[in-house]
Amino acid sequence: MAFTLSGDDVCQATLPTPVPDPYWVAFSTSSAKLAGIPLDDNNLPADKAWLEVLSGNQLDAGDHHFSNPIATVYSGHQFGAWAGQLGDGRAILLGDIAGQELQLKGAGKTRFSRMGDGRAVLRSSIREFLASEAMHGLGIPTTRALSIVGSDLPVRRETLETAAVCARIAPSFIRVGHFEHFASLQKHERLKELADLLIQDHYPECLQTKDTYLDLFKRICKRNAKLVAQWQAVGFCHGVLNSDNISVLGLTIDYGPFGFLDQFQIDHICNHSDQGGRYAYHRQPQVMHWNMACLASAMIPLVELQCNESEAQEQLRKALEEFPISYAQAWQSLFRKKLGFTTEQDGDIALLERLLQAMHDSKVDFTNFFRRLGGLKMNAPVDQIEMRDDFVDRNAIDQWFSDYLARLGDEFSNDLVRQNSMNQVNPKYVLRNHLAQVAIELAQKKDFSEVGKLLNILTKPFDEQPEHESYALAPHPNLDSIEVSCSS
């Protein structure tokens, strides 16, 4: 449900700033169905007024009147340092639609824009739109993207680009940073109102326990532990895991300098602005744990409502220690499934770690390797396995394949059942940066066909889609690495 806290210290009424001559760039029929928006034969909103609403030019479409658009305040830690007050600098919450919050990103300045212009550009909007829907296709919790509306309005970044507004929906956009904000100002009543709103709308089961706010913290931790394990399992790097970019619903939110792994490097950094590698692939679980510690600190006054200060701190500390356990359980379960195992054996994780080390040493394509692994025949002679050619240390990988095939033989008598199950967890298609870049460059020439094509492919990432085989390929080795930064 839409954010319902009121008051100038929480949010500010903010009208979107219109853009000239808006036009459709992309539209998600799946998200439209979630939002209850009727479509025409072209899979665009039947009510033409939606183009104006989703560009920020008006507030009425059909039976929907978004009478109170707002921007909310939050604070947070950025790259490990306290950044103080932040907020929705270019995101405006229009209101509720079919039980979801509808937000426009790039619709103009707000009170919390600081030095920003409140706009988003076509480039970053395409990346967020495609990533949101691709993650949903992979079964990973995420905010959803409804549309991109473009305009020829010039926007200055490193170069002069054109404006775009990305409409996104979620059950709630409440972040860890919202809790940090009120805790940092010692506005404990506001902190309690925020927690109570969250419990009422999204965690009602917490009301069944005597330690309501401690239970809320545990549930938020568990969701985010599972979320980051899911990222690791598909090779997704968020790129900027600041505490203000962490959803308290365990959703992937704020797609900026993200990237999916091509060549597997355990310490891969997808964000060009991340000079120290704080948000590298292998550090994402640790950083998410750190962000949960930030939330724990912010929630101390709430837990103190049900016990004294020292007890509150001890209870939150113990609850925080459950995060790595929850993460490890989720991570191990997901990677066992990626290897095709349906039962647990003591040597499974050691076998997996040997594989990941070998993949790292040889820079093996992450997505393609696991997908091809499903097609491996259990009776195949090791020296005839084509995938071994991807590895530098042939003896080591031969031994691994020998051990792996023996492990599969403990569970399966035929390949078909195993292959089907593995193909449901190992995607064939992910949003690789070079694919997004092609779509962006065409869109900048007013050709939006590739955005739509990618959307259709990525919403079915586990299907073979033989007509789109080239979209499953790793980027050509001669292709220049695409640098993605926080600029958007």
pLDDT at 13: 93
Mean of per-residue pLDDT scores for the chain: 95
Q: Is it the case that residue 247 has pLDDT exceeding 50?
A: yes
- Annotated catalytic residues are 244
Q: Are 73 and 243 in contact (CB under 8 A)?
A: no
Q: Is it the case that residue 483 has pLDDT exceeding 80?
A: no
Q: Is it the case that residue 1 has pLDDT exceeding 50?
A: no
| 37-76 tens-digit pLDDT | 999 999 999 999 999 999 999 999 988 999 999 999 999 9
Q: Which amino acid is at 139?
A: G
Q: Are 265 and 321 in contact (CB under 8 A)?
A: no
pLDDT at 258: 96
| 265-274 tens-digit pLDDT | 999 999 989 9
Give pTM, 2 decimals.
0.96
Q: Which of 169, 363, 149, 360 is nearest to 249 (CA)?
A: 169
Domain ranges of the chain: 11-170, 176-332, 340-423
Q: Is it the case that residue 481 has pLDDT exceeding 90?
A: no
Give the sign of the dihedral formed by CA 193, CA 195, CA 198, CA 204: negative
Which phi and psi (to 5°) does residue 412 adopt?
Answer: -120, 145
Share of the chain above pLDDT 90, in %: 91
Q: Is it the case that residue 2 has pLDDT exceeding 80?
A: no
pLDDT at 476: 85
Q: Are 69 and 82 in contact (CB under 8 A)?
A: no
Q: Is it the case that residue 315 has pLDDT exceeding 90?
A: yes
Q: Are 458 and 367 in contact (CB under 8 A)?
A: no
Give residue 480's pLDDT band: very low, low, confident or very high (50, 70, 90): low
Question: Rounded distance, CA 246 to CA 76, Å?
Answer: 10
Mean pLDDT score, 298-322: 95
Question: Rounded distance, CA 449 to CA 211, Å?
Answer: 52
Mean pLDDT score, 137-162: 97
Q: Which amino acid is at 153?
A: L
| 154-212 tens-digit pLDDT | 999 989 999 999 999 999 999 999 999 999 999 999 999 999 999 999 999 999 999 99
Mean pLDDT score, 391-409: 96
